[in-house]
Chain A
Amino acid sequence: MKELVEKLNTKYALQDIIYQRDNMVFATISKELVIEAITYMRDYEGFAHFVMMSCADWIEDNKFQLTYILNNPQQRCDVALRVMIERENPTMTSAHHLWKQVWTYQREIREAFGIQFPGSPRVEENFVLEGWTDKPHMLRDFDTHEYAEKTYFPRGGRTTNDPATYMREKLYPNQPVTAKKNKNVE
């Protein structure tokens, strides 16, 4: 595993390398090199299984993190490559030509985070939110509570408890509150 990471590091100048487990490593790579790197890993290093592609919104850094997770079925190890891209007008090179299922991930990420993947098949089609006109729903600054208040009319006879407060009152009535609210979560 370490030999492979060193080889990838030499070729693609990896950053923030973290060995999460003996058989799993996370590393950051530049946006321009990631498609070349995963193509190389698939064709020459045996990472034939594309596990998944995911996105996280680091709104405080004004960045999106795209993560490509690849698995080598023979060596039984995983490499996850992170790519940080700007949050404004985000665009990423498509990888749909490498594995058949990649366009599905890209289509979902386009819908959920607003990242464009030019050339990816059916990327403009809605994935789960038919007729959605609001901002991409997985962005950190999309307020789900406000959306629900705005969209769904209040129904008589229903009461709502904040789950965290309710649990605290029921389970630990005498314990002081020490956890701070996460400012990045609505």
Chain B
Amino acid sequence: MLNNFFGFKPDRSKYPSVNEDGSLNIDLSSHQYTKLWLGPNHPGVTGNMAMELTLNGDEIVEGKTHVGYLHRGFEKLIERRLFVQGFPTSIRMCVAEPDTNEYLIAACTEELSGYDKQIPDMAKWLRMLSLEMARLQGLLRGVPGQAGTYSLGIGVQWGVYLRDLILDRFEELTGARVYHMYIIPGGVRGLLPEGFKARMEDNLKDIDDFIVRIKKLMFDNAIFKKRSIGQGIVTKEMVDKYGVVGTTARASGVKRDVRKDNPYLFYDQLDFDPPTAEEGDIYARTFVRWQELIQTVDLIRQIMAKMPEKGDIRAQMPNVLNWRIPKGETYVRIESGRGEYGMYYVTDGSDKPRRVNLRGPSYTHGVALLEDLLVNTNIADIHALMVSLQTCPPEIER
């Protein structure tokens, strides 16, 4: 009864019929089906990606993801550059949270060159602060963004304003708003400016207020509930089958968080418990992210309270222009705002990497998982589905 009321359950028992080889029998000349390209430029599509949809009425019977509209060959370019020159290139592989790339490429190069044990504690705390600030600005866009897909646009405006305040803090800490280049090999670029903590606390108080307001706007809203409950369900069994990670996995009852499972930096000194849900639908994913917003604010407060006031911020590193790293390979992962975010890094003893391969959550969420979840979805719900899976095309095509 609940599913019939909230969920959209079309009868697919008779059409489209299935061919002997298992493919769908879709005859466009029958006028029963329509091909529709959604994107690559569409306000509801997350970034520049396109979906090739086959529709029956307004229901999707088949969906294919097309990427490549943002491909700039970052991984190939990094192979042609010195290790340090890979940093400004790598951060552009993910616009939503570029700091994760900064940390990963720093951690990979430090581990392979043997400097990972020499990173000063102060630098680790500052790295953690910048990563949590990146998570916060991402959530301030992502959580109300989910409301935006259901035309509850006021939440997006609140979120964009508050995200800008966090970008102000980034600007005074790093000199840049989006691509910070703050985490560098051996440590970070600078200490906190004077009065930073007080200004950050002011911003966090505003965000506390926003958290209460956005809850009323979204989770107490009949439209939001009716359109998100029972939609785009990712079951617990699908998590490993599709390589689902992060809040999407946690909203399906699979409690995995790299910060807890394989703690890096000083996450083992922070007190937090990743929120989870069982339902696995769009509503559950959004609610988990809203809880994560509360947690991220708390984590930033914990970090600012626990971090030392002063200290070394950078290990003694070799001249970056003559830096050679012995032959080796590693895979380093961290928990980004969207889930496990990893980098496979291969060196050959020269002054440039042999291979750099990014593993972003969107690589699985935005292709294999999205294509399967699109089937039987109403065309009006595609954007909500995409935003709920937090697809980010640049990290798919790199």
List residues of A whose CB falls within 8 A of some B CB: 18, 20-21, 23-24, 26, 48-52, 54-58, 65, 67, 69, 73, 76, 78, 80, 99-101, 103-104, 126-130, 137-138, 140, 142, 144-145, 163-164, 167-168, 171-172, 175, 178-180, 182, 184-186
Contacts and interface: CB of A to CB of B under 8 A. Distances in A.
Interface centre among A49, A67, A80, A175 (most CB of B within 10 A): A49
Contact of A185 (B79, B242, B368): B79
Interface string B93-130: 00000000000000000010000000000000000000
Contact of B331 (A78, A138, A144): A78
A69 B331 contact: yes
A129 B363 contact: no
Nearest to A165: B321
B262 A23 contact: yes
B81 A49 contact: no
Given A128-B397, A129-B68, A167 B354 contact: no
B319 A52 contact: no
Interface of B: 66-68, 71, 73, 75-77, 79-82, 85, 111, 240-243, 256, 261-262, 319, 321-324, 328-331, 333, 340, 342, 344, 346, 348, 350-352, 354-355, 357, 359, 363-364, 367-369, 372, 396-397
Contacts of A126: 68
Main secondary structure of the interface of B (DSSP, over half): mixed
A90 B193 CA distance: 55
A168 B320 CA distance: 10
Nearest to A54: B357
B76 A137 contact: yes
B321 A167 contact: yes
Contact of B262 (A20, A67, A76, A179): A76
A178 B322 contact: yes
B321 A164 contact: yes
Contacts of B323: 179
B331 A129 contact: no
Given A73-B261, A101-B364, A163-B81, A26 B329 contact: yes
Contacts of B75: 138
Nearest to A148: B73
B364 A104 contact: yes
B71 A129 contact: yes
Interface centre among B324, B357, B396 (most CB of A within 10 A): B357
B350 to A, nearest CB: 4
Given A99-B243, A167-B85, A172-B319, 18 more contacts: A51-B340, A51-B342, A67-B344, A99-B242, A101-B363, A101-B367, A101-B368, A128-B67, A128-B397, A129-B71, A145-B80, A163-B85, A164-B81, A179-B323, A179-B351, A180-B351, A182-B352, A185-B352
B241 A164 contact: no
A5 B262 CA distance: 20
Contacts of A50: 240, 243
